[in-house]
Structure 1
Amino acid sequence: MGNFTMRRISKLTRVAVGVASLALAATACGGTSTEAGSSDSSDSGGAKKGLAIAYDIGGKGDQSFNDAAFSGLEKAKEEFGYKTADIEPTEGETDADKVQRLTSLAKQGYNPIVGVGFAYGPAMKEVAAKYPKVSFGIVDSVVEGDNVASLVFAENEASYLAGVAAAKATKTNTVGFVGGVDIPLIHKFEAGYKQGVEDTNPKVKVLSQYLTQTAEEGGFSSPDKGKAAAEAQLEKNADVVYQAAGLSGQGVIEAAATQKKWAIGVDSDQYQQQALAKYKNYILTSALKDVGGAVYALAKSVKDGKPLTGTQTFDLKVNGVGLAETNPEFAKISGLTDAVAKAKKAIIDGTIKVKTE
């Protein structure tokens, strides 16, 4: 029993140290420093409040990227009894706005704090340096810092599998790709997809379109733009369209479903998303990116007192990316299940090297 008490005390000391830098901030904005110090035993290695995520463009409800992050937050909340916060971005915000948001979460004692999206890069570098006892996570970007975990994914690998599916499913030998914004991150999706299509059936043509040059122009948050781009590709005979466009992707899915053609979703398993239920029969599959799993892994590491730091890559090998097979139609397409399994194995064992550009 004495041993347990000792452990309990040292755990509390650790927590107290973790929140010391926050206590001053908390008193400044009306909190009390004593609360934080006398944390209960379900909590360790950091501040009392648990997990906070700050969303990227498109916010919650995109049925894709941001919602995948939210699922990780929900899991951590359920398992660890964490207090959680999830904060929406504002229209046309600056880095300064992001700095303010992350600083406010750190002052309130949240730990870890996750910026969902590469746009948080500059702000996180600045804020993490000021709060060395708090663990930060950033999705889709690498930020240097002793207390920052850069949560990056092999989107090109999942996209390769999506390309295999598109090449097997097409009847017109024309497929489409709609990217939200013309940036290196989305080029990874396009490069993997094209390579997967070509390796499976070199006769299949890929039509590609990016919705905007910058995120500020709404490439990830404009379903109408997604819909128009997909309609243009469908007019050119595409009968499978893959989108990597965040909230804009809903327009792509709507366009394909309306014309009874295949759409391929992204990030979350979009076949299972409630908001897209009326189109689900036309969502052949989705290139999965387990942002939720990454958010959860960071939360768990902080809970266990061994916070993840540095670049953490989630690829096919660790199931960090993948391809959904929940639509029963998937299994009915001749040779598709086998082709995907074979490609997956070859990527994992290094026989297939998937391009990123």
Structure 2
Amino acid sequence: MTNRRATKRRPAGLISMLLAVVFVAGSAGRAGAQGERQLTPEQSKAVTESLALMTQSSAAQREGKIDAAIELRERAQAIVEKNFGPGDMLTGLNLPLLAFLYSRKGDHARAEALYLRAVGVLEKLHGPEHPEVSNTLLTLAAIYNSTEQFAKAEAVSARALAIREKALGAEHEAVAEALFFLSTAYLRRGEYGRAEPLLKRALLIQEKAFGAEDFRVALTLNNLAHLHSDKGDYAQAEVLFLRTVALFEKLFGPESTELATPLNSLAVLYRERGEYLRAEPLFKRGLAIVEKALGPEAEDTAIALNSLALLYSDRGDDERALPLFRRALAIREKVLG
């Protein structure tokens, strides 16, 4: 049986996780503080070797070689712990990035354990209210949101927000990111009254800090659109989805896979309102984008096929719907087994 809910893209998925990691990655520049110590020759060698392995891991990650990237970071971590112990600054740098790799691989349990350990290390290094701690808390929130552990996501996001507001001020751009993650936990739980003011506050901060055409603004607009759609406020959702589509197209290009997500969301909105003639070209465009970019047998292609098939099914055109359903099912069986 086809799952209709699967065709409605949920907000704040992998893109939101990557946003959180941007802040963590920024700590790489502080690894040089290691050199301020009086290091033994063996420790100096360990620093050089571990940083080289981390650099190689990053290169492997960019090439999509996640298993290789993990193996390199694990080796780097072993060197650091052997020479400096488990609570060193290099551990605070490496663990969140290693955790992110495991989350990319789908091993969320391992990722969570590493993030929690990283939080403990960073708290000892910098104190429990340091912005560095909030960075890893938000990457942990992304894991919890993606695995539907919304109470945990709320707790770590709220803590990260409190840390950033105290350390950086209520209008700082980093506060907007924490607001975004906290609102996502509420939105995914259907607590629209709690999510909406957070998203609106984040949007105001982002537009002031980055301008109205920044990708962070686009992500927040997308979540606001989902909120209004889920509430049944389709008119406001349409306005926001149209703005999101235009912004994604300008930022990422007319054939980008990033654009396919808001296109699908707008199309779903039209389908749910019975506006099939407006929905059809959007579903077809989204399908063409993912099929060209990812291939005819990719999982996202199956999702796009299913969405278009549902449109035809809803308007009683089974002759066009059934072949699409069958093709989507065949792709999923091949991909998932």
Q: Same fold (TM over 0.5)?
A: no
| TM-score normalized by the length of structure 1 | 0.25
Asked which structure has the greater RCO (Cα within 8 Å, sep 6+), the reply is 1
| Larger helix fraction of residues | 2
| Larger strand fraction of residues | 1
| TM-score normalized by the length of structure 2 | 0.26
